[in-house]
Chain A
Amino acid sequence: QVQLQQSGPGLVKPSQTLSLTCAISGDSVSSNSATWNWIRQSPSRGLEWLGRTYYRSKWYDDYAVSVQSRITINPDTSKNQFSLQLNSVTPEDTAVYYCARSTSHLDYWGQGTLVTVSS
């Protein structure tokens, strides 16, 4: 059974960097058949896919156009986890952030982390 456990701060100041981690059990971040995604949800924007990382003989990443200038998703093979960094946050980045595994679809999700951007 795959489980994804999220960690990270729930409060970030404007202009700073949002950082979250998703620890994987029951699968490997280096899997050749899965991708590892970050998604957020807010009342104003609904569910929004932010980006992913995946391994297919080498590492790849893809990002949503809306955040591509500010986002980095990195794998950590030593800890079997992946991370999200979102730079220069504003109050519009306030949302519940989810990590999720995708095979043919988003099949396993983390528990969600409410991140509030406020001074």
Chain B
Amino acid sequence: QTVVTQEPSFSVSPGGTVTLTCGLSSGSVSTSSSPSWYQQTPGQAPRTLIYNTNARSSGVPDRFSGSILGNKAALTITGAQADDESDYYCVLYMGRDIWDFGGGTKLTVL
């Protein structure tokens, strides 16, 4: 069974840039996987940041951007702020009307 992979944790300095990735245990991520990215803080429902690889959801600051880097989807945060400290999840379309979540990346801003 193919698993969606993400870095378990990452840290970034305030004002810095960080790229989180989303891959597959077997195979490559492409735009046909329609990657989307969600931000979640404790006790809250996930919030959509990016969909269809690089489309920014309404109200999301432009310091968040999505792309394909090599064989993975990527979420880049440019000019990280303290309130970007959250869990970040990617979702990929796996075919046959199935969507699968990554395990999430815990981002620390310090």
Contact = CB atoms under 8 A, between A and B. Distances in A.
13 contacts: A46-B102, A46-B103, A47-B46, A48-B101, A49-B99, A49-B101, A105-B51, A106-B91, A107-B48, A109-B45, A109-B46, A109-B47, A112-B44
B36 interface: yes
Interface residues of B, number: 21
Interface of B: 34, 36, 38, 44-48, 51-52, 57, 89, 91, 97-104
B102 to A, nearest CB: 8
A98 B48 contact: no
Contacts, number: 44
Contacts of B97: 62
Contacts of B98: 49, 62, 64
Nearest to A48: B101
Interface in A88-119: 98, 102, 104-107, 109-112
Given A46-B101, A46-B104, A49-B100, A105 B52 contact: yes
A104 B101 contact: no
Contacts of A46: 101-104
